[in-house]
Structure formats: structure tokens, C-alpha cells
């Protein structure tokens, strides 16, 4: 029997586990797959663990995708994480935390209106940091040709700790995500697979994005993907350094600060229900 809390950020939904008593997740990757199953389990895009802090941080966050793989970071997940620890601690807003992740220290802050603003750190742009074999190891990958599904796409690669491959298109509604998403995700030019985003520029302060997530498939929103979309838009001079990113589940506000070069993401995170998982 495992106690859990269910949260979502713009419909990107997660099972949150209070794992403060132990430094290793109390759920295996195989169990996470079962819990995420929408017919046989709780249903979620991933499982997130609240672990004791490391290296002077308040807490450590680890994530298992719905396929059991472990990503470095999760942007919607960390907003849910902040709301969950505020609940566990009985804190009222505003509250800020330093969270240890596989993508470095990430700093969420619950604001007065209950939304969460996250200092996501600096984007990483070199091919070896993504990682991708598109371009030389210490070069940026901007508008590089990549053949997928019999078509040439011009892709920009950004790491927010986890890999993103971004393509600007005229209309996101016309992209056959279910068919082409897996072909990007598992393309041999991405040795650790990749998250894949298609972006439509509405104007310089408004982007529309649809995502195929590594290890989770189509999701209603992707926080790190929204951040990476804005970075790709700035690198290709399609948008300003501050913009709204509209996802199928709603909007995030993203800023790439000129002053400190860090990315700030603001959006909602909602507690849905709590329960006890009885499965194996």
C-alpha cells in the first residue's frame, strides 16, 4: 500500500510521493509504470518523489516517466512539487525552496495568487550538452536540417537539463504528433532520446506549442519544453525574451532574463486528490 497525492500542471499530471524518510525512491521504475497506467493504475504522465535535500538544498526531486525512464528535470512537475511540500510543511504562501535535481539546483517560489514561479537555471545549447550528434560537440544546433518521416525539418536543440528538439511550423494543429513524435524521440542523432516540440509563432510575445515527450508521449503540457521553445524562438529571432507559451492544457509565462541569463517560468499547479495505491 502506497500513499500518494495527485497533482497536475496544465493537465500534465503526476503522482507525488512523500519520500522524505529515505534517500532512494520507495517505488521501483516498474511499479511507476503500473501506477501511471490510465486503465489499470492511478493514471499519470509520471511519478515524482520528494526526497531529503542534498548539498544544502531543502529537498531533492526525482521523476520517473510513465515508461519508467528517469528524466533529469520536469518543469510542470516542479511546480506541483512546490505545492506538495508546502502542503506537507503546512506552509502558507509565499514560500520559496531550493530543490536538488539531476539538472542542478532549481528554485520554485509559490506566489501570493497560488501560481508558482520557477528559476529554471540557464539553458544549455552545445550539441554535447543536449546531447545530439547534429553539429560539432561544442557548437550550437540552430535550424539544422534533419530528415524525419520523408521530410526535411529545421530543428533547434536546447537542454533544460533534459533534451529538447524544437521545430517551428506554420500550424501546430496540422502536425501528426502520434506518428512523427516517436520518430524524433528515437532518432539516432539523439543518443538519450529527446522531447520534441512543434511551435507556431502567433506574435513575438505569444507562441503555441504541442509536445511529444520522451518516455511519456503526447501530454497536455511540458514546462521544460515551453522554456526550450522560448529559447529556440529567441535564438532564431522569432520572439522576444519574454512570452506566453500556449500548450494544449493552458498557458505558461516564460522569460529568459537578459541580466542573469536564467529562465523563469510561471504557471499553475493544482492538487487533485489523495489516495492509497493497492497494486503491486
Please identify, using beta-carbon distances, which residue of 223 and 233 lies nearer to ligand ZDP.
223
> Quick one: which of 8, 44, 75, 85 contacts ligand ZDP (CB under 6 A)?
75
What span, in angstroms and rounded, lies between the C-alpha atoms of 231 and 228? 5
Dist. CA 65–CA 178, nearest whole Å? 18
Distances (CA, A) of 232 to 55, 124, 241: 32, 11, 10
- When asked if residue 101 is in the footprint of ligand ZDP (CB under 6 A), the reply is no
**209: phi then psi, degrees, rounded to nearest 5:** -140, 140
Q: Judged by CB, which is closer to ligand ZDP: 214, or 238?
A: 214
By beta-carbon proximity to ligand ZDP, the closer residue of 103 and 141 is 103
The 53-72 contact track toward ligand ZDP, x by CB under 6 A, reads ------------x-----x-
* Position 249 contacts ligand ZDP (CB under 6 A): no
Angstrom CA distances, 154 to 39, 109, 142, 232, stand at: 37, 35, 8, 12
Q: Which residues pair with residue 243 across a beta bridge?
A: 254
Active site residue 36: no
Catalytic residue among 222, 227, 239, 251: 222
Active-site residue, 74 included: yes
Shortest gap between Cβ of 164 and ligand ZDP (angstroms)? 8
Confirm or reject binding of residue 267 to ligand ZDP (CB under 6 A).
no
The CA distance from 138 to 79, in Å, is 32
Binding of ligand ZDP at residue 76 (CB under 6 A)?
A: yes
Query: Any residues with CB less than 8 A from the CB of 176 and at least 6 apart, and which?
Result: none
What binding mask, one character per residue, do residues 185-224 give for ligand ZDP by CB under 6 A, x or -? ----------x-----------------xxxx--x--xxx
Which burial class, exposed, middle or buried, applies to 266 when counting CB atoms under 10 A from its CB (0-12, 13-18, 19+)? middle
Binding interface with ligand ZDP (CB under 6 A): 12, 65, 71, 74-77, 162, 195, 213-216, 219, 222-224
Catalytic residues: 74, 222
Amino acid at each position: 500500500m502506497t500513499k500518494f497525492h495527485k497533482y497536475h500542471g496544465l493537465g500534465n499530471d503526476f503522482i507525488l510521493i512523500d519520500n522524505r524518510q529515505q534517500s532512494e525512491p520507495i517505488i521501483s521504475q516498474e511499479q511507476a509504470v503500473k501506477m501511471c497506467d490510465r486503465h489499470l493504475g492511478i493514471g499519470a504522465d509520471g511519478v515524482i518523489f520528494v526526497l531529503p535535500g542534498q548539498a544544502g538544498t531543502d529537498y531533492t526531486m526525482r521523476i520517473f516517466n510513465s515508461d519508467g525512464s528517469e528524466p533529469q528535470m520536469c518543469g510542470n512537475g516542479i511546480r506541483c512539487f512546490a505545492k506538495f511540500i508546502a502542503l506537507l510543511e503546512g506552509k502558507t504562501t509565499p514560500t520559496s525552496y531550493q530543490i536538488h535535481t539531476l539538472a542542478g539546483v532549481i528554485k520554485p517560489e509559490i506566489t501570493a495568487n497560488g501560481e508558482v514561479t520557477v528559476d529554471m537555471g540557464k539553458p544549455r545549447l552545445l550539441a554535447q550538452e543536449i546531447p545530439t550528434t547534429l553539429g560539432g560537440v561544442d557548437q550550437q544546433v540552430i535550424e539544422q536540417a534533419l530528415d524525419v518521416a520523408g521530410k526535411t525539418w529545421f530543428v533547434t536543440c536546447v537542454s533544460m537539463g533534459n533534451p529538447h528538439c524544437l521545430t517551428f511550423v506554420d500550424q501546430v494543429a496540422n502536425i501528426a504528433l502520434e506518428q512523427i513524435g516517436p520518430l524524433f524521440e528515437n532518432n539516432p542523432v539523439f543518443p538519450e532520446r529527446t522531447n520534441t516540440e512543434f511551435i507556431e509563432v502567433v506574435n513575438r510575445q505569444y507562441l503555441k506549442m504541442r509536445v511529444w515527450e520522451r518516455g511519456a508521449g503526447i501530454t497536455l503540457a511540458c514546462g521544460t519544453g515551453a522554456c526550450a521553445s522560448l529559447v529556440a524562438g529567441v535564438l532564431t529571432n522569432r520572439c522576444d525574451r519574454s512570452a506566453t507559451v500556449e500548450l494544449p492544457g493552458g498557458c505558461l509565462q516564460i522569460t529568459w532574463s537578459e541580466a542573469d541569463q536564467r529562465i523563469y517560468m510561471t504557471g499553475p499547479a493544482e492538487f487533485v486528490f489523495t489516495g492509497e495505491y493497492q497494486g503491486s
